[in-house]
């Protein structure tokens, strides 16, 4: 394995195939439906999550991993031969996950070099940082170089999402400055933007088609975009959106994935998000 090991959390929405291929450690958050709690990825798949949300009618809740889960992952990396760990996490404005990682890192001071980075991002944005960090580590980059690479991506990473409902975000208390959206939610399809790690209102459209058109137009306005990924929460119209952007961004150039339980809890079913690097 690389002498620099990459760790993240399950909000990265990378597949098991992606994390296994790149030797990425993933510390899972927990998902709770009423009194039933599940370990993300380990006890609850993406498909099962959306099915359970639809069948139970319950609004799920998320819980950050304990520092112990991170410490376990960091120690496993050391035992496997890592000289250092770079841990990139879900935005601290949305979860205590990064704080748990920092607490674990302090426990290993003097034993292992652990760098914890707040991505100020989530889902595909976080996933892209993690994949690039793993690629750099595999190419022989040291911890300083990997850390600087990720930090250079934080301010360039953009995420926009078209929600089919604002109910999950509203009840989950993660709505931030997007509260203005709540005034007239009937027949409104909200657009959100992740800015400085928090959820902000980017717009609202009267129909789903207009919301997807807004996403396309926003993407097409960018003079330079790299590492585009499109992720969705079991959205039935994902192919429609991919067709809308295909003239400039063919499917084979896009990393396509599903928004998992951590972000899906707040984004709700049907969410479509696009994540990319500017410049």
> Per mean pLDDT, which range of 16-30, 130-144, 161-175 is the poorest?
161-175
In a domain, 36, yes or no: no
Same-domain status, 73 and 122: yes
Judgement on whether residues 124 and 104 belong to the same structural domain of the protein: yes
Structural domain including 235 reads 157-278
Same domain for 214 and 266, yes or no, is: yes
Segment 201-254, tens digit of pLDDT: 899 899 999 999 999 999 999 999 999 999 999 999 999 999 999 999 999 999
Six token digits for residue 149:
């690479």
Model pTM score = 0.93
What confidence score (pLDDT) does residue 241 get? 98
Pairing of strands 113-118, 157-162: unpaired
Asked if residue 144 and residue 25 are part of one domain, the reply reads: yes
Summarize pLDDT for 89-146 with one digit per residue, the tens: 999 999 999 999 999 999 999 999 999 999 999 999 999 999 999 999 999 999 999 9
Number of domains in the chain: 2
Grade residue 169 by pLDDT with cuts at 50, 70 and 90: low
With bands split at pLDDT 50, 70 and 90, how would you rate the model's confidence at 53?
very high
Look at residue 177 in the predicted model and tell me its pLDDT. 47
Q: Where among 154, 180, 210 does a domain terminate?
A: 154
238-245 vs 208-221: helix crossing angle, rounded to 10? 30
Both tokens of 197, joined, read 């790690």
Q: Are 262 and 31 in contact (CB under 8 A)?
A: yes
pLDDT at residue 184 greater than cutoff 70: no
Compare 185 and 104 and report the one with higher pLDDT.
104
Q: Domain for residue 177, yes or no?
A: yes
Tell me, yes or no, whether 246 and 229 share the same domain: yes
pLDDT of residue 165: 81
Domain final residue, candidates 122, 154, 186: 154
- Of 154, 182, 216, the domain-final residue: 154
Distance CA 198, CA 122 (A): 10
Q: Do 145 and 168 belong to one domain?
A: no
Q: Same domain for 10 and 134?
A: yes
Phi/psi at 86 (5° precision) = -115, 115
Mean confidence (pLDDT) of the chain: 93
Mean pLDDT, residues 142-159: 98
Residues 221, 92 within the same domain: no
Q: What percent of the chain has pLDDT over 90?
A: 86
Secondary structure of the chain in HEC code, one letter for each residue: CCCEEEEEEHHHCCCHHHHHHHCCEEECCEEEECCEEEEECCCECHHHHHHHHHHHCCCCEEECCCHHHHHHHHHHHHHCCCCEEEEEECCCCCCCHHHHHHHHHHHCCCCCEEEEEECCCCHHHHHHHHHHHHHHHHCCCCHHHHHHHHHHHHCCEEEEEECCCCHHHHHHCCCHHHHHHHHHCCCCEEEEEEECCEEEEEEEECCHHHHHHHHHHHHHHCCCEEEEEEEECCCCCHHHHHHHHCCCCCHHHCEEEECCHHHHHHHCCCCEEEEEEEC
For residue 49, tell me if it sits in a domain.
no
């Amino acid at each position: 394995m690389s002498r620099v090991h990459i760790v993240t959390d399950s909000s990265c929405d990378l597949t098991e195939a992606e994390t296994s291929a790149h030797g990425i450690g993933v510390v899972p958050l927990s998902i709770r439906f009423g009194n039933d709690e599940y370990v993300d990825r380990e006890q609850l798949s993406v498909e099962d999550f959306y099915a359970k949300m639809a069948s139970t009618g319950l609004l799920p809740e998320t819980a950050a991993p304990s520092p112990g889960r991170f410490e376990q992952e960091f120690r496993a990396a050391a035992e496997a031969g890592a000289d250092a760990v770079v841990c990139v996490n879900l935005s601290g404005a949305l979860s205590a996950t990064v704080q748990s990682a920092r607490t674990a890192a302090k426990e290993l001071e003097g034993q292992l070099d652990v760098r914890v980075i707040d991505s100020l991002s989530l889902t595909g944005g976080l996933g892209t940082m993690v994949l690039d960090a793993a690629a750099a580590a595999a190419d022989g980059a040291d911890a300083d170089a990997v850390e600087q690479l990720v930090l250079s991506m934080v301010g360039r990473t953009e995420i926009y999402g078209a929600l089919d409902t604002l109910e999950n975000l509203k009840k989950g208390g993660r709505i931030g400055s997007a509260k203005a959206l709540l005034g007239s939610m009937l027949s409104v399809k909200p657009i959100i933007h992740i800015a400085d790690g928090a959820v902000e209102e980017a717009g609202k459209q009267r129909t789903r088609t207009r919301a997807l058109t807004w996403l396309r137009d926003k993407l097409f306005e960018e003079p330079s975009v790299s590492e585009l990924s499109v992720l969705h929460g079991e959205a039935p119209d994902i192919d429609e959106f991919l067709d809308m952007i295909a003239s400039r961004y063919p499917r084979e150039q896009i990393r396509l994935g599903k928004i998992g339980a951590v972000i899906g809890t707040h984004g709700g079913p049907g969410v479509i998000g696009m994540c990319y690097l500017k410049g």
